[in-house]
Amino acid sequence: MIDLRHVDCMEYLATCEDNAFELAIVDPPYGLGETNKKTKQRARAKTSKWKNRRPPKYGGNEEWDNATPEPHYFSEIKRVSKNQIIWGANHFGMMPPSSGWVVWYKKRFDEINDFSDAELAYTSFKKGCRLFHMAWIGFGAVNAKEKRIHPTQKPVKLYEWLLMNYAKEGDRILDTHLGSGSIAIACHNLGFDLVGCELDKEYFNAASTRLEKHKQQLRMF
């Protein structure tokens, strides 16, 4: 079951029992001061292939990335889940040692733009460092049909890869910052139960609509 909730994740976490989830896959704000306007401006890549493409339209709160979560957020995540995958943990400076970091390499070798070449995720798993490569520019996946509805949207295939490599059948998944809802589509595709929290109503509605449209397309085919 995919359970999407328009709620403050801290309020929801306070209601959860210890180890209520087998795996938390979360992507909290990195505190870089990004805004919808800045992200759209940076999405105008400087190569001839991309420079004439229209930037995506985002709704939602302009202040979503003004600060990182408080330490209590991370302690709650570890309390309610048996394992964790935390995107952007290199920005937080409070993660315990781990050999199992995930690297998402998203740069095309022929692209020059202002976005990071890769993103990092801390994992609590005792595994080696793993690399996922999927080209992704400001507008989204290169040669993939994913409409961009959130400034920090991640591809569905990335979440599917995480689930296939780090989750087990029957695992219950938690996402505290739903954003675009990519993880919800991935969990639906692979049959995982998910609770996804999103505080911003506009993003919550957009993610919910995106998931429902995806379900309808699957039923059609």
pLDDT of residue 34: 62
80: Cβ contacts below 8 Å, ≥ 6 apart: 13, 16, 17, 18, 19, 20, 21, 24, 174
Confidence check: pLDDT of 54 > 70: no
pLDDT of residue 47: 43
Please work out, in degrees rounded to the nearest 5, the angle formed at the alpha carbon of residue 173 by the alpha carbons of 172 and 176: 140
- On average, the pLDDT of the chain sits at 83
HSE, side-chain direction, 13 A CA sphere, residue 159: 27
Question: How confident is the model over 165-184, as a mean pLDDT?
Answer: 96
Confidence check: pLDDT of 199 > 70: yes
Question: How confident is the model over 136-155, as a mean pLDDT?
Answer: 74
- Confidence label for 52 from pLDDT (cuts 50, 70 and 90): very low
Confidence check: pLDDT of 51 > 50: no
pLDDT of residue 138: 58
- What's the pLDDT tens digit per position in 4-43? 999 999 999 999 999 999 999 999 988 776 655 555 454 4
Least trusted range by pLDDT, from 55-59, 112-116, 120-124, 186-190 = 55-59
Strand extents, DSSP E, 95-218: 102-105, 118-123, 130-133, 136-137, 140-141, 172-175, 193-197
pLDDT of residue 121: 95
pLDDT of residue 46: 43
Which domains does the chain possess? 2-220 (3.40.50.150)
